[in-house]
Amino acid sequence: MENVYTDLAVEAREIYAQTNNSKTDGVEFKEFKYGDINVSQVEVVDDTGEKRMGKPKGTYITIDMPDFTHYDGDTMDKVSKAMAQAMSNVIRIQDSMTALVVGLGNSSVTPDALGPRVISKLMITRHLKEFVPDSIDEGIRPVCAVAPGVLGTTGIETGEIIKGIVEKIKPDIIICIDALASRKMERVNRTIQIGNTGISPGSGVGNKRMELSKKTLGVPVIAIGVPTVVDAATMANDTIDMVLDEMIRNASQGSKFYDILKSVNKDEKAKMIREVLNPYIGNLVVTPKEVDTVIESLSRIIANGINISLQPALDLDDINKFLN
């Protein structure tokens, strides 16, 4: 797993199973649907699974969005509702609980701006519950939110900012949103991952910071992420793999050329590609050219998914009226 660059548990499971030609011990996997939306769940159940997956023990739910989601309002709402249902599998919120939503990332860099964009579309109610309780329904849950920025612009570790806020307002649960990295281009901007193990800000761009989890903050942390970038070296490696596989199919079995192709060590090849590219492109990640439009729609989908999950007394129409 050391040459694999992915934040998605479903990909880590696929890669381990393919590499070892076996099931992943210590990991449970199942697939199901919310309406016509495909959902998969990876459960890392013990230390063996944690070691082999490179992911903490816990539940990771992956929602696959239809191709046309970003250009269809009705489909976006369907994905939001599916996301809210998925969140109910990893989160149990009582009516009196206060939720803190944290939008991680750099708002000035579009592929990393998902978290702050989501915050701008949330139904924020904690101040209303505290200062004008008579003007808001009793069934509305107190929700507050923050987009703390990144270390490079604030000079403060994101984890330090969040810890200070947690100590002050004492939320019952934290929901973090961040951009992730995938190893497959087809999953970029097409997949939502929900996990109950916390998150490390910056992991999607290879700049891992202080972990945000129940262990570090003393409060349950739900992490929501979308892969918005893919590692350039991984793309190059996958392309060469496809070329090699095609050459193997066309080569005559038993020939010296066939034997040479079959003897290529893919792990060593991946390591060599990264070493060769590093002096020229460094730690380069790639994102689709339509990322501006996509991040806007993704932020709406995730914000509404969170709004529905945190405000079960309201339907999506009521939530939209509140926001407008």
Q: What is the pLDDT of residues 265-283, one digit of tens each?
A: 877 887 888 888 878 777 7
CATH 3.40.50.1450 domain position(s) in the chain: 9-234+283-323
Coil, strand or helix: which one is 54?
coil
List Cα–Cα distances, 287 to 21, 87, 218, 303, in angstroms: 31, 27, 35, 22
Per-residue pLDDT at 207: 56
What's the pLDDT score for residue 306?
A: 96
Q: Please state, in angstroms and as integers, the Cα–Cα distance from residue 262 to each residue in 18, 259, 273, following that order.
A: 16, 5, 18
> With contact defined as beta carbons under 8 Å apart, do 248 and 258 qualify?
yes
Average pLDDT over residues 188-211: 77
pTM reported for the whole predicted model: 0.86
Mean pLDDT of the chain: 87
What does the pLDDT read at residue 183? 82
- pLDDT tens digits, residue range 31-62? 999 888 999 999 999 988 888 888 889 999 99
Furthest-apart CA atoms within the chain: distance in Å? 82
Indicate whether 236 pLDDT > 70.
Answer: yes
Calculate what percentage of the chain has a pLDDT beyond 90: 43
Q: Report d(CA 189, CA 293) in Å as an integer.
A: 11
Does residue 20 surpass a pLDDT of 80? no
pLDDT at 167: 95
Q: Is 246 exposed, middle or buried (0-12, 13-18, 19+ CB in 10 A)?
A: exposed
Of 1-5, 172-176, 180-184, 189-193, least confident by mean pLDDT is 1-5
Give yes or no for residue 112 having a pLDDT over 70. yes
3-state secondary structure of 223: strand
**More confident position, 152 or 169:** 169
State residue 267's pLDDT score.
74
Given a cut of 80, is residue 160 above it in pLDDT? yes
Average pLDDT over residues 247-275: 84
Listed ranges 62-76, 109-123, 230-244, 264-278; the one with the highest mean pLDDT: 109-123
Tokens 């281009």, residue located: 185
Closest CA to 114 of 309, 296, 320: 296
pLDDT of res. 284? 81
| pLDDT tens digits for range 162-182 | 999 999 999 999 999 999 988
Q: Give whole-number Cα distances, 60 to 29, 42, 44, 49, 152, in Å.
A: 10, 5, 8, 13, 29
CATH class of 9-234+283-323: alpha beta
Helices (H) and strands (E) counted in the chain, each on its own, are 13, 9
pLDDT band at 14 (very low <50, low <70, confident <90, very high): confident
pLDDT at 208: 59
> Residue 78's pLDDT is what?
93
Q: Is the pLDDT of residue 1 over 50?
A: no
Classify residue 47 as exposed, middle or buried by CB count within 10 Å of its CB (0-12, 13-18, 19+): exposed
Is pLDDT larger for residue 71 or for residue 75?
Answer: 75
What pLDDT is recorded for position 2? 46
Strand spans (E) along the chain: 27-34, 37-44, 58-64, 99-103, 143-146, 173-182, 191-195, 221-231, 285-286
